[in-house]
Chains A and B, each alone.
Chain A
Amino acid sequence: MFFEDSVLMSRLLTFLTLGFHIIFATVGVGIPIMISMAEFIGIKKKDPHYTLLARRWTRGFTITVAVGVVTGTAIGLQLSLLWPSFMQVAGNIISLPLFLEVFAFFFEAIFLGAYLYTWDRFKNPIFHWLLSIPIVIGSTLSAFFITTVNAFMNSPQGFEIDEGKLTAVEPFAAMFNPATPSKVFHVITSSYLTSAAILATIAAVIILMKKGTTYHRKALKMTVTATFVFALATAIAGDSSAKYLAEYQPDKLAAGEWHFETEEGADLVVFGTLNENNEVKNEIRIPGALSFLAYGDFNAEVEGLYETPEDERPPLWIHYMFDLMVSIGFYLVGISMLFLIFWKVKKWNEYNKWLLTGLAVIGPLAMLAIEFGWIYAEVGRQPWIIRGFMTVAEGATTSPHVGLMFLLFLGLYTVLGIGCIVVLRKIFKNNPAELELEGRYPNVKESDKE
């Protein structure tokens, strides 16, 4: 039975941990910058609405950080527990970014503690805001360093293998491999995007439920603006990732696009189905678009999947992951732009029900896109764990107990997930923003003339 297959179970357990962790890691990277911006706007405009926004976001953020920290610790240890042979080899090359990631995390943890407990401690609020900068830097640097590790696994370099032994190790060459720039860019922009989208969803839902006040409308405007900017940046990053793939990992691109024969002017296949002869049916076909996506030229030649030996090809279902991710990305750009247009055109009501409903789903959708994107990126390099050097089967543990551990962690993440939701609801449900605003800033009604 598959439950006894330690390689498969190691893969599933790693998927489970990472799939759960990236929800919290993503908001961990993106929310600090939103908090920092809101607090800064609040100080500059002397508008307590924004300061309160920063405060309330921070309060929810601590809960997600806690789960992010503990699941991050879990994946850190699981790397060695589930993939001991991989770590024995790769540890020689990737320990530098892993090590630096912990430093960045350390830095962030110190300042997060300081930020949380000093809201009313400084006479000049700008000092408190300054404490948020290291949090933003620390969380973004963590994302940077850990992404270089993943980039290395996709595009290994910076070492030589001499009779099974690693020689000529260059840590910085391994860190700054060809996959690093596009991957880091894409990870960071999409994390910012997703966090902004989640905060926008919260504001939109509250306004839709007719509980919205000036506070929520300001929140919505700020978060949707951020969503739009980050969505554009993510689109650019995604495009650079596709160009990287075409050059360095054509098999991943070809499997994701169902592009089998090498040809010039390759069409882009959107959705559709495959029959047993690998013929594409029911698809939307955009002529020449794949060539354009890959090389910026509608007639360029794109390598097909048949160039890759059969046992080194990734599974073909990742096509759907790619398409879902990209579709959601386009939706996010579109809906946030629509809101901005409605807002700027004075005659139109940007708070109409349809637009708000469209915005109410962007947070969960963006998070799904993160998951789809990572599944595409990770399953797309199967069967390799270090592309071209070590397969997943060679890296896995031989322990017979992985199946049992899978159940253990499934239970853990269920408990953590439910706990997180329950606590977040509890924090905000009985403490609406208006009440807190009145309690903290009794004079706000007069100063608020919007």
Chain B
Amino acid sequence: MSYEYIGITVLWFFLYGYLIVASVDFGAGFFAYYARLTKKDHIINKLISRYLSPVWEVTNVFFVFFFVGLVGFFPDTAYYLGQSLLVPGSIAIVLLAIRGSFYAFESYGSKDNSVYMFLYGATGLLIPASLATAMTISEGGFIEETASGVHLMIGKLISSPYSWSVVLLAIVSVLYISSMFLTYYAHRADDRPALEIVRKYALFWSSPTIIASLTTFIALSQHNPVHYQKAIGLWWMFGISVAFFMIGLFLVYQGKYYGWAFIAVMFQFFFAFFGYGASHLPYILQPFVTITSGATNETMGVTLIIAFIAGLFLLIPSLVMLMRMFLFDADYVKGKK
């Protein structure tokens, strides 16, 4: 495998990692606010903040890692995406900034501030929507290169059914992943009242998730038939994804093996996400950047991969330590530590 393919695979793994951990975070913010509105916050909010407090910064790094890596492995994307995404990118930064800092303000500083809670909940849905725009744009047809530079055709983006279906899919998936995780976490914490609530959320958000996946597929076939054909060629990946969806949903419905249910959710999104990514190749940004045309020079590519492997030796043990301390330590989860 040449270094470009290793590079894109690494990056895709990190984006996938971000998708999972950030969804838990984004969805939790929304649920926390929703629980406040429905006066159930005393039941679930303690649970949510016990999980989120030690890890919110780590979540953020997954994202930074992805975009720094993307520019590192494929500097051409910086040129095209940078030129065209100034406005949506800046809005996403502002939302992320408000969310991250206000989370810290509220959890370490002033408790129970409704304005912070609202901003935290609202940004939890707006951020996935704005980040999904970058994904939409990579399909091609939304940016043009003229003599004066590269421009985003905002009118086309707003009127496209494909871009709206991606936004919808992003939002409902966030809520689904998050509620499935919280169900598992509540179960570990032995917190029955919380479990009852978040389990209902999980069951509720399962059907919009699968429906939005299908509509996105249909919209893609209209917007980019070539990509759609390649995706059909990888039908088995999406088939496995649906099978894991059924398993996860079945287990939660049965009310047992919540841990396995969440693992099934992770596999569901893993196969869908990698199926989408693989069928997207060789383009990174249609039609301007392909995986070979946009790649960095070989020396840098190889050096980055070596740096990445060395970094993993540092990261994986540290992440395992963090998870053992806060995710799999039963006493911590139950609030005894």
**Interfacial residues, chain A to chain B (CB-CB below 8 A):** 59, 62-63, 65-67, 69-74, 76-85, 87-93, 95-96, 98-103, 105-107, 109-114, 116-118, 121, 134, 166-167, 169-172, 397-399, 401-402, 404-405, 408-409, 412, 415-416, 419-420, 423-424, 426-427
Contact = CB atoms under 8 A, between A and B. Distances in A.
A428 B65 CA distance: 34
Contacts of A85: 79
B71 A95 contact: yes
Contact of B300 (A110, A171, A402): A171
Nearest to A419: B105
Given A92-B296, A166-B297, A109 B67 contact: no
30 contacts: A63-B104, A66-B100, A66-B103, A69-B60, A69-B100, A70-B100, A73-B60, A76-B64, A80-B71, A81-B85, A81-B90, A84-B78, A84-B150, A85-B79, A91-B71, A92-B300, A95-B296, A95-B304, A99-B307, A100-B311, A106-B61, A106-B311, A113-B326, A117-B326, A171-B303, A399-B149, A401-B86, A404-B87, A405-B87, A419-B105
Interface string B81-120: 1110111011111101110111111001110000000000
B108 A109 contact: no
Contacts of A134: 318
B39 interface: no
A80 B81 contact: yes
Contacts of B303: 96, 171-172
B318 A111 contact: yes
Given A98-B68, A397-B86, A409-B94, A426 B297 contact: no
Nearest to B54: A113
Interface in B101-156: 101-105, 108-110, 148-151
Contacts of A426: 109-110
Nearest to A71: B97
A426 B111 CA distance: 11
Nearest to A165: B297
A397 B82 contact: yes
Given A99-B72, A113-B57, A81 B300 contact: no
Nearest to B111: A426
A84 to B, nearest CB: 3
Nearest to B151: A399
A12 to B, nearest CB: 14
B82 A110 contact: no
A419 B102 contact: yes
Contacts of A415: 98
Contacts of A106: 58, 61, 65, 311, 315
B234 interface: no
A82 B65 contact: no
A110 B101 contact: no
Contacts of B197: none
A109 B57 contact: yes
A77 B89 contact: yes
Interface string B59-78: 01101110111011101101
A103 B60 contact: no
A423 B91 CA distance: 24
Contacts, number: 224
B319 A110 contact: yes
B263 interface: no
A332 B318 CA distance: 38
B160 interface: no
B133 to A, nearest CB: 14
B93 A114 contact: no
B105 A96 contact: no
B321 interface: yes
Specify the main secondary structure of chain A where it touches its partner.
helix
Given A70-B97, A169-B297, A427-B109, A102 B86 contact: no
Given A114-B325, A423-B109, A100 B307 contact: yes
Contacts of A77: 67, 89, 92-93
B322 interface: yes
A398 B149 contact: yes
B93 A74 contact: yes
Interface size grouping (class) on chain B: 35 or more
Q: Count chain B CB atoms within 10 A of each CB in A70, A84, A114, A166 and give the residue with the most.
A: A84
A74 B55 CA distance: 20
Contacts of B108: 59, 62-63, 66, 423, 427
B97 A412 contact: yes
A99 B308 contact: yes
A74 B87 contact: no
B101 A70 contact: yes
Given A106-B65, A170-B299, A412-B94, A95 B72 contact: yes
B314 interface: yes
A402 B89 CA distance: 12
The 6 lowest CB-CB distance pairs between A and B, nearest first, are: A95-B72, A91-B75, A66-B104, A84-B82, A398-B149, A423-B109
Given A73-B63, A96-B303, A171-B303, A423 B105 contact: yes
B321 A95 contact: no
Given A96-B300, A171-B300, A409-B90, A105 B71 contact: no
Given A70-B100, A76-B64, A95-B73, 15 more contacts: A65-B104, A67-B101, A73-B63, A73-B100, A77-B92, A80-B67, A82-B82, A85-B79, A87-B71, A95-B300, A98-B71, A107-B314, A111-B318, A398-B150, A399-B151
A63 B82 contact: no
Contacts of B297: 92, 166-167, 169
Interface string B203-235: 000000000000000000000000000000000
A221 B58 CA distance: 35
A169 B300 CA distance: 7
B292 interface: no
A397 B101 CA distance: 28
Contact of A82 (B86, B110, B308, B318): B86
A347 to B, nearest CB: 44
Contacts of B9: none
A111 B76 CA distance: 34
B2 to A, nearest CB: 17
A121 B83 CA distance: 49
A169 B299 contact: yes
A74 B97 contact: yes
B53 interface: yes
Contacts of B89: 77, 81
Contact of A88 (B55, B72, B75, B104): B75
Contacts of A405: 86-87, 90
Contacts of B82: 80-84, 87, 397
